[in-house]
Structure 1
């Protein structure tokens, strides 16, 4: 027989799985599009503490998850709080610029399922190829909208090394990322009536073609903040990715990526 404590734990786990199952209904098979949406990284925000099984916070969070699952995901991002202190639950997500709409819903669903990596934590972030999802107990109104968040940034890179002239590759990569940063923050770069804060492009480097993207969280208050964020993380290239065929720095305010192969749905990125 199970003790009352172990039985309660099993019931809580089953309840969480039920919420996750609702999300997984929406997940599409991205492999059929010759794309990946692999898990990249997660971080449990342990400073926010944990919630108890059956608590008001759990009820608010579960309802919030279910409500957002019916969203159109048209803008590719969301920053929304449900409930009131001390049981407010905030969900933040940002999908890659080529993964809005139903594709964004799929990644959001995978992200919510990924919260299981931080069981009963009030705060956690998970990153996939095509999005990141963050859950926090801090209401949107209490988050500093004038702050660029760098503390959760991390870098990953392609283990293959660049062949040929590494200095030229570095120069051309920096040039492409710099041009895309300007494009992402251009007033002409609009999406659904709002500045896209996203840009993708490609550039020929010798006999090869380099592909890259830059993107900022669309809730950043000004394009100036987006530009500052991107310029700051691109400086990390030397430490994380110099001499590598591909690399990226990701976070919750902005990110960049470059590769020697196309990795976006839209293969018609402008050649720079």
Structure 2
């Protein structure tokens, strides 16, 4: 796309910084594929390609989107969701990458999901809208051990529960917050559910994954747990709004 805009050195630096940030954020964190395959060039394949293209076009406008296409047994359901604090440009870049890479990582699979720092995308031959997804989930203890794990663990859970209470009453089912820990540390937390969930199901999903903090993230200064329908992240530095 051509442009007559004159770029200042500062604008170029900011643009380069954003591109570097996006390059890191647009690496997939994790993906899952089911074992059942569909036939290349089949009707299901055509419906999937069309639906992914539609989600890529519509999701950045509001930050989320879902839909279905076709008739059984070739009907496909899809959902895309961006992190609640990012702008439409970053959302577009993330969903575009997801729509391409989900088919590379899960080629010809009837059901798949891919997670990024800024978005997630999933599709299935089954109607999953509004249902809590307990099947696909992963965690990552991102950072180092803290000096007082018991106290820190309590602070993590307290913060996530407060932010959860804010998220389940928000239109995006998304919230962020912070909590002072000790004399010099601030803990930052983020929770989000996919937009197809009800407030009650969002709360149930978040309660479930927050309950795994002591088992998988005990004493870690940062961590993440993501499922097909909800997620949380926390660490000791602010989230970068983009």
Q: Could you say which TM-score interval applies, normalised by the shorter chain?
A: 0.7 to 0.9
Tell me the residue number matched to 1:154.
Answer: 138
Q: Cα deviation per residue 1:159-184 (whole Å; 9 max; x = unaligned)?
A: 41113x22221121111111101111
Determine the C-alpha separation between the residues in 1 that align with 2:20 and 2:154: 34
Q: Which of 217, 228, 232 is the aligned partner of 1:241?
A: 217
Give 1:99 deviation, angstroms: 2.4
The whole-number CA distance in structure 2 between the counterparts of 1:224 and 1:68 is: 26
Q: C-alpha deviations, 1:226-266, integer Å up to 9, x for none? A: 11211111010011101111011101111111011223317
Structure 2 Cα separation of the partners of residues 68 and 158 of structure 1 = 30
Alignment-derived partner of residue 30 in structure 2: 41
Q: Distance in 1 between matches of 2:133 and 2:185?
A: 35
The 8 Å contact of residues 38 and 108 in structure 2, kept in 1 or not, is answered as yes
Q: Partners in 2 of 1:159 and 1:255 — Cα distance?
A: 18
Corresponding residue pairs, total: 224
Distance 1:107 1:144, change over 3 A: closer
Matched with 1:176 is 159
**What is the TM-score when the length of structure 2 is the normalising length?**
0.85
**Structure 1: any 5+ residue segments left out of the alignment?**
1-27, 190-194, 267-272
Q: CA deviation at 1:101?
A: 2.1
Match of 1:55 in 2: 42
Q: Match of 2:122, SS? A: strand
* Contact 1:30–1:37 (CA under 8 A) maintained in structure 2: no
Counterparts of 2:129 and 2:95 in 1: how far apart (Å)?
Answer: 24
Q: Which residue of 2 aligns with 1:208?
A: 185
Q: Residue 71 of structure 1 corresponds to which residue in structure 2?
A: 58
Whether contact under 8 Å (1:74, 1:100) holds in the other structure is no
Aligned twin of 1:143: 128
Judging changes above 3 Å, is the alpha-carbon distance between structure 1 residues 179 and 35 closer, same or farther for their aligned structure 2 residues?
Answer: farther
Query: How big is each residue's C-alpha offset from its partner over 1:177-208, in whole Å with a ceiling of 9 and x where there is no partner?
Result: 1110111123xx3xxxxx22111011121211
Mapped partners of 2:215, 2:96: distance in 1: 33
The residue that corresponds to 1:130 in the other structure is: 118
Does the aligned pair in 2 maintain the 1:35–1:263 contact within 8 Å? Answer: no
